[in-house]
Structure 1
Amino acid sequence: MASLDFVWNNNQSKVTGTFFAKKRRLQGKTAEKTTINFLNSGDKEKVSEKQNFNKIETSTNPSTTRNTEHVKKKWSNDKTQNRDNDAENTNANLAKDKNKKDKRAAATVLKSGQTPTDHVKKKWINDDRTENREDDTENIDRRLVKRKNKKDKLAAAALLKSGQKPAPIQKDKFTHSLFSEKYKMKSISNVPGVSVVEKVFSSNCAFKDLDIHKYIVSNLEKHGFTTLTNVQEKAIPVMLKGQNVLIRSQTGSGKTLAYAVPILDALQSITPRLERNHGVQAIIVVPTRELALQTHEIISKICTFQWIVVGHLCGGENRNTEKTRLRKGTHILIATPGRLLDHILHTSSFKINNVRCLVLDEADRLLDMGFKKDIVKIVEELDKSKKNDEYDPMAMLRGDTSKEVIDENEPDTSYCLRDPKNMKRQNVLLSATLTKGIAELAEFTMKDHIYIDALAEDLNINPNHMVIPKTVRQEYIITFVKHRLFTLASILVAKSKENCKILVFMATSQMVDFHYELFSKYLAILPFNRGKLNSGNVVLLDDGLEDSDDDEEVALDAQFFKLHGSMEQNKRKEQFSGFRKAKKGILICTDVAARGIDVPQADHVIQYTGPQTDEDYIHRVGRTGRVDQAGTALIFLTHEEQEYVNHLREHKVFLKERTSSEFSNHLCDLMKEADAERAAVALQNRFQNAVSANGDLYKLACFAYSSWSRFYNSYPAKLRKIFNFQKVNLGHYVTSFAIKDTPSAVARQVKGHVAKFEPKRLNRKLQIHENTEQPTKFKQPQKRKIKSISLTTSEYASGLTFKKKKKN
């Protein structure tokens, strides 16, 4: 048996313990005592070895005493080694103290005005360099560069004062990590070809040649609409006959007037005149709020008949205001699908039994945005209201047949919208592309319809070919990933000098928010003293940009706007209307602005991220070159994405290559640098410093990068070989968002911020319809317990309920 008692001393680094080991009973009950010192800061192995040594020493077993000598020897060697280490540390401390004394002595001698001895001075300098060489190398280099720049600056200023010209400074070799990548060979061959185009304007047909009211014609000519486009020439006569129509035409070909003119002409011909209590006569369904506002503006502009009321319904607007507007009465209603179905199901004052025309504008976009279920429900509600209105037993008893019921299977050449008694409904679908989904939707909404294609009859084209307006000049630019940000900035600077409007399409709303904040604050506004002095070729200090942030100037004469689906309706409406009214500006947006939006004088379209479908490419490009006006469409591609050019060639779309060097001189003028690489690095450093210094901007950059990675990883299988997330360099893409951190650090930042957000609570009152695809579990109603009155009341009771007194 053995026991161990500890005795704590005042010295915290030492613990003294007493070890008692009892010998065998044959040799008596005497015990030996051994003291062990446990050093807290020592090695655990040494303590355990010493403990084992004491155990072996106090044991009387012969087999254990053999190992005593070598253990003692090892312990003594360890003590010797510790003594040597202590001696070295002591010598180092003495040397440091001596150096300090020498420095103090030298400083004292210098104070008194004498010069220290050479050996003391030499030793002092050598010790300083040896001690702090690694830490102070960068600081010394910076000081030398600043000192040299300052001398050059003073010398140049002196020469200028005397009337002489300073000598040009020799350029040193300039390298930066932004330009350290090796050039990647391109696999694109310049194959000339002719794109598929369609005729926009009719050759010899005008609005005055149509059988419509003269006031409508004069108002159209007043706003510049004189000649009919090809789609208007083919569609308006067919619609005036009241037939169902499926129209396919390119973007910017005037499809809005193709259905607006027949509707207005039919409603103004009703006698007696329409009154507001007659309700809605025509409904126009559009995919986005901006397109609803634009369509409302166009129809109101060409409508000169004051008794015809035009209204619109949009998500994000005040529902009570919309209810009041519907209660007063509206004849032509433009609406988005969700808000329209909401009012149909929940607004009792909204009557749809008189609707005799339904228009689905941008039908392909309606399907892409997931509105198929809403459209089907709207059509079902319209059919249901028509059947309920047809069956009126009291009117049948009275013999009142005020409403004429016409069989839909019978051919009818009259326009149903002209006759309020006609219960037939005309359906019109319009789309820039014809897909399988559009054909299925047309079969559901219309039984017999006429298909109108704006292409010439003699053109036999493949359905896979894209039809792009011939007035659009299509281009592409291939850049390194790290160069994307300042390349986009240089193109915006170059295009803004031409006094035009630019649309920049990006993948996500977070990317739009980040680039809008970055460009509007750190590109449009720059420090006054940047780059080179106006007086000569004298380079400012590297940190001159930071020192002169107080003196800033407007360097880019163009206003920035943004537009995406996550914005509040008031801001969204303000930004869109402001961009339309501006003479020149830059709109950074998502695909919410890619369908049907007509911006006057939109000369340039830039696709900063590649589209996920071919239809998205068509609609993005279609924002420019509208109604036979010239425009330019440029798409950004990396070296890994350059195969997309060949993909477009398969669809008869041919692009012209542009290089970033064509816009570098504009960046040099902006940053006041003679060298393009210096200008690019200066702008990139400004962006990165702004993101690092501004916490909110850094958060926007992290979320923008995270949303881009999710978008890039969600390309369909058709384009995943070109836009392959597995092949991209994420570190370079982080740099393209002006972030200095690694991708994993950015992911941790985003994860930390997302964890703090609470999920939005859905308002069940605004739920339009239940999801029928996932059947809900049937819950049996709980049985209510019924109390027996006979068991709880007395025959002598008064029948009055007794109220319990409240406890004080």
Structure 2
Amino acid sequence: MTSFEFTWNNGAQAAGKVFARKKSTPKQKQTGATTAPTKFAPKKAPEAGIARNKSFELIEKQQEKISSNTGSEQYVKRKQKKDKLAAKAGDGNQQISRETSEKSASTSHSLFAVKHKDIYVNTNIRGKSVVEKVFSGEKKFTDLQIHKYLVANLQKHSFVNLTNVQEKSIPEILSGKNVLIRSQTGSGKTLAYALPIMDALLSIDPRLQRQDGVQVIIVVPTRELALQTHEIFGKINTFQWLVIGHLCGGENRKTEKDRLRKGVHVVIGTPGRLLDHILHTSAFKIDNVKCLVLDEADRLLDMGFKKDIVKIVEELDRTREHSDYDPMAMLLHKKTQEIKTESDESLPPLRSRNSKNRQTILLSATLNKGIAELADFLMKNHTYIDTLDDSPNINPDHMVIPNTVTQEFIMTHIKHRLFTLSALLLAKAKHKVFVFMATSQMVDYHYELFMKYLAKMPKNRGKLKIGNVTLLENENFEDSDEEEQCVLDTEFFKLHGSMDQGIRKKVFTEFKAAKRGILLSTDVAARGVDVPEADCIIQYTGPQSDDDYLHRVGRTGRAGKSGSSLIFLTHEEQEYIARLQDHKVFLKERDSSEFLKHLCILMEEPEEEKAATALQRRFETALSKDKDLHRLACFAYSSWSRFYNTFPGKMRSIFNFKTINLGHYVTSFGLKETPSSVAKIIKGQVATVQPRRLNKKLATHGDEEEVKPQKRKIKSVSLTTSEFASGLEPKKKKNKRKT
């Protein structure tokens, strides 16, 4: 071996080692290109190295021929070299590059580039659910000993047969007993106490006058339930001398004061507003209250109204004690008063004008320790009514849900949540649907998104395409209102606690009256609200407690009617199915592909993945152009993350904020940003909002940021001058130094 061959071989080996250690570039990782570490990689020599010789050039040309024939690159090349190879390759390589670019364009959206995840929870477990009969027999309202006009009013509104809870409760309430009623949602609990109350008030002789004041107070947790209860009383009350009123937060207090001043016999209200009027409205006289009703008591405790309820009861007791002292009766009509009191005490409290007793009625869909403690505080002796036949043998942890409700779940990838919900709403467009979401910001965002970009679609969607990019994404096409058409024959509604009271009342009334519609709501509509023909419940976010699930599902299948409930779960949340099985609730799996077919029709795409991707791109494009909608999306994601991070300890192992992929959840809101970028946007939005200025006349404290101007100190000369002085400033004496 000559010295030239020896040095050449060593140099080649060294060059091979260097190129073998070279890492793939980021661009190489994205395109999926692989590098084969060969001995002779085409790379320029370093600046301090020796220039290439002819042997390297021959080997390089040979490698270029091999790569051009096979159509695949085996090593890293610089951009100039790639351009030269593409020019030499001709039409063959151009065809290959066109196919690869089209393939990369079609798979550029990573919606379906997710790993397959298995469902490891056994969903085939079937057991005996706890079933409560809504109608126990054929007993009718005509069989009860109540006012004949009340029966006629019930028949006008198709109330004929008694439900199980009504059959057991009404006779006990008519007799004046304190009762604790546990019954499932939608079983007719409101009418179970409304009917005997009205019958008792009608039996008072002489008739009640407005100046007799409040006789009954009914406490409910939400404004919607207060309006609904007032409506039920209005259906059976056609008697002009009996006045029913309601007090709700958000209403005009002056109007409510005028109503109370004129005189109301039955007051229905939320705890906060009731207590406000009891303490501050002199026209609200509660010394004659003979019946107190707490409806949806479990919800009242969950919402933190326990202190308000205790305060209301204390005020009722205090006013009753002070009203016992009647000096005129003691001096003038002592004997007749004693006889009248004895005769009145034998009657139920509501049927006597001068009775000092008070009847208490407590109703709840669930029974727990808090309800038991509240019942012991409110009532000394009470009758417990449970509509389950074998209630002593039932575990209190078992949920009671009507057997007329079909309960299902959808297991989706996180990225698929938004378009899967859209597909489900398309499938249920002809029904009346509740969609429960975690926060009010989520409700606002999805309402605006669906109203603008799901209910309305461009006319030429999916028909005219340029490559793989449809005209759906063209700016001029999106902004053209004339080219859009309404594709959903239904109406969207939204309801949450942050809305104005007047708007909430209007939305609730319109949704109840509508034949079909989709209501996006928080849990403010999950308790006690009765919406006729509501046949589908969708839980887009998981409930924070088992009772929340029970009451959400209870919005359908009411009074023996059929309904369906469907909950969205991700693969990380599938343990919730097993938790419900422990409560004797068994869910069936529903395949999301059944609903994605509706997206194919909507987007005019033959394949489900293409249709879903097109809809997701439409939402993302809308967010990039609509700044207000983008802001709503950011706030919706931020509020959802706070909600998800505050699950109670019992549920945190299932809905674990630390183990979820936040980036995928950002995509489920239609956002392209990262979670940290959304957080920065939220901080910027909050920083630009000016703090609310307090009314100086009403505020007890000032703004912290406000810097008060320092007043200049003025020296008073009134204490240092004589009354005979001229008022001029005295001359300053010079200090004479002692010599």
> Smaller-chain TM-score range?
0.7 to 0.9
| Map of 2:117 onto structure 1 | 184
Deviations 1:151-201 (A, max 9, x none): xxxxxxxxxxxxxxxxxxx99975630000011111122112221110101
> Contact 2:141–2:160 at 8 Å: present in 1 too?
yes
Deviation at 1:257, TM superposition (A): 0.3
| Map of 2:26 onto structure 1 | none
Task: Determine whether 1:742 maps to 2:674.
Answer: yes
| Map of 1:505 onto structure 2 | 436
Deviation at 1:427, TM superposition (A): 0.5
| Map of 2:732 onto structure 1 | none
**Closer, same or farther: CA 759–360 of 1 in aligned 2, 3 Å:** farther
Structure 2 matches for 1:334-483, cutoff 5 A? 334-399=268-333, 414-457=347-390, 460-483=393-416
Deviations 1:307-343 (A, max 9, x none): 1111100110100000000000111111011001100
Q: Distance in 2 between matches of 1:401 and 1:625?
A: 57
**Closer, same or farther: CA 716–541 of 1 in aligned 2, 3 Å:** closer
| Map of 1:562 onto structure 2 | 494
Q: 2:639 aligns with which of 707, 720, 730?
A: 707
Q: Distance in 1 between matches of 2:258 and 2:82?
A: 83
Q: Which has the higher contact order (CA 8 A, sep 6+)?
A: 2
Task: Determine whether 1:751 maps to 2:683.
Answer: yes
| Map of 2:451 onto structure 1 | 520
Q: Distance in 2 between matches of 1:793 and 1:348?
A: 58
**Closer, same or farther: CA 215–171 of 1 in aligned 2, 3 Å:** farther
| Map of 2:198 onto structure 1 | 264
Q: Distance in 1 between matches of 2:338 and 2:220?
A: 30
Deviation at 1:664, TM superposition (A): 1.3
Query: What SS does structure 2 have at the residue aligned with 1:284?
Result: strand
Point out the more displaced range, 750-759 or 506-515.
750-759
| Map of 1:490 onto structure 2 | 423
Amino acid corresponding to residue 314 of structure 2 in structure 1:
E
Query: What SS does structure 2 have at the residue aligned with 1:491?
Result: helix
> Contact 2:141–2:161 at 8 Å: present in 1 too?
yes
> Contact 1:390–1:405 at 8 Å: present in 2 too?
no
| Map of 1:590 onto structure 2 | 522
Point out the more displaced range, 711-720 or 540-549.
540-549
Deviation at 1:396, TM superposition (A): 1.8
Task: Determine whether 1:287 maps to 2:221.
Answer: yes
Deviation at 1:302, TM superposition (A): 1.1
- For these two proteins, the number of residue pairs brought into alignment is 614
> Contact 1:241–1:413 at 8 Å: present in 2 too?
no
**Closer, same or farther: CA 765–329 of 1 in aligned 2, 3 Å:** farther
Task: Determine whether 1:656 maps to 2:619.
Answer: no
Q: Distance in 2 between matches of 1:759 and 1:188?
A: 49
Task: Determine whether 1:552 maps to 2:511.
Answer: no
> Contact 2:257–2:281 at 8 Å: present in 1 too?
yes
Q: Distance in 1 between matches of 2:152 and 2:390?
A: 31
Amino acid corresponding to residue 192 of structure 2 in structure 1:
A
Task: Determine whether 1:323 maps to 2:254.
Answer: no
| Map of 1:785 onto structure 2 | none
Question: Structure 1 regions of 5+ residues with no counterpart?
Answer: 1-83, 86-124, 134-139, 149-169, 768-791, 795-808
Query: What SS does structure 2 have at the residue aligned with 1:467?
Result: coil
Task: Determine whether 1:542 maps to 2:470.
Answer: yes
Q: Distance in 1 between matches of 2:641 and 2:114?
A: 22
> Contact 1:562–1:575 at 8 Å: present in 2 too?
yes
Q: 1:312 aligns with which of 246, 256, 260?
A: 246
Deviation at 1:127, TM superposition (A): 12
Amino acid corresponding to residue 321 of structure 2 in structure 1:
K
> Contact 1:532–1:539 at 8 Å: present in 2 too?
no
**Closer, same or farther: CA 399–696 of 1 in aligned 2, 3 Å:** same
Q: Distance in 2 between matches of 1:230 and 1:765?
A: 57
> Contact 1:510–1:707 at 8 Å: present in 2 too?
yes
Point out the more displaced range, 550-559 or 187-196.
187-196
| Map of 1:215 onto structure 2 | 149
**Closer, same or farther: CA 406–233 of 1 in aligned 2, 3 Å:** farther
Q: 1:693 aligns with which of 612, 625, 633?
A: 625
> Contact 1:406–1:424 at 8 Å: present in 2 too?
no
Q: Distance in 2 between matches of 1:467 and 1:589?
A: 23
Deviation at 1:756, TM superposition (A): 3.3
**Closer, same or farther: CA 263–695 of 1 in aligned 2, 3 Å:** same
Deviation at 1:305, TM superposition (A): 1.3
Query: What SS does structure 1 have at the residue aligned with 2:258?
Result: helix
> Contact 2:407–2:588 at 8 Å: present in 1 too?
yes
> Contact 2:461–2:470 at 8 Å: present in 1 too?
no
> Contact 1:291–1:596 at 8 Å: present in 2 too?
yes
> Contact 1:531–1:540 at 8 Å: present in 2 too?
no
Q: 1:203 aligns with which of 127, 130, 137?
A: 137
Q: Greater CA radius of gyration, 1 or 2? A: 1
> Contact 1:532–1:538 at 8 Å: present in 2 too?
no
**Closer, same or farther: CA 625–545 of 1 in aligned 2, 3 Å:** same
| Map of 1:806 onto structure 2 | none
Structure 2 matches for 1:158-173, cutoff 5 A? none
| Map of 1:236 onto structure 2 | 170
Amino acid corresponding to residue 459 of structure 2 in structure 1:
F
Query: What SS does structure 2 have at the residue aligned with 1:365?
Result: helix
Q: 1:194 aligns with which of 104, 125, 128?
A: 128
Q: 1:723 aligns with which of 655, 664, 672?
A: 655
Question: Structure 2 regions of 5+ residues with no counterpart?
Answer: 1-46, 49-78, 88-93, 700-720, 724-739
> Contact 2:412–2:570 at 8 Å: present in 1 too?
yes
Q: Distance in 1 between matches of 2:606 and 2:126?
A: 37
Amino acid corresponding to residue 542 of structure 1 in structure 2:
T
Q: Distance in 1 between matches of 2:625 and 2:559?
A: 46
Query: What SS does structure 2 have at the residue aligned with 1:755?
Result: helix
**Closer, same or farther: CA 127–178 of 1 in aligned 2, 3 Å:** closer
Q: Distance in 2 between matches of 1:601 and 1:490?
A: 22
> Contact 2:215–2:289 at 8 Å: present in 1 too?
yes
Deviation at 1:218, TM superposition (A): 1.1
Q: Distance in 2 between matches of 1:660 and 1:279?
A: 57
**Closer, same or farther: CA 679–590 of 1 in aligned 2, 3 Å:** same
Q: Distance in 2 between matches of 1:676 and 1:745?
A: 31
Q: 1:604 aligns with which of 528, 531, 536?
A: 536
> Contact 1:530–1:540 at 8 Å: present in 2 too?
no
Deviation at 1:455, TM superposition (A): 0.6
Deviation at 1:268, TM superposition (A): 0.8
User: Identity of counterpart residues, as a percentage?
Assistant: 63
Query: What SS does structure 1 have at the residue aligned with 2:375?
Result: helix
Deviation at 1:144, TM superposition (A): 8.0
TM-score (norm 2): 0.78
Q: Distance in 2 between matches of 1:540 and 1:281?
A: 72
Deviation at 1:758, TM superposition (A): 5.0
**Closer, same or farther: CA 454–606 of 1 in aligned 2, 3 Å:** same
Q: Distance in 1 between matches of 2:351 and 2:602?
A: 61
Query: What SS does structure 1 have at the residue aligned with 2:354?
Result: coil
Deviation at 1:761, TM superposition (A): 7.5
Point out the more displaced range, 340-349 or 455-464.
455-464
Query: What SS does structure 2 have at the residue aligned with 1:203?
Result: coil
Q: Distance in 2 between matches of 1:728 and 1:583?
A: 39
**Closer, same or farther: CA 688–407 of 1 in aligned 2, 3 Å:** farther
Deviations 1:227-271 (A, max 9, x none): 000000000000001010100000000000000000000111111
Q: Distance in 2 between matches of 1:764 and 1:267?
A: 48
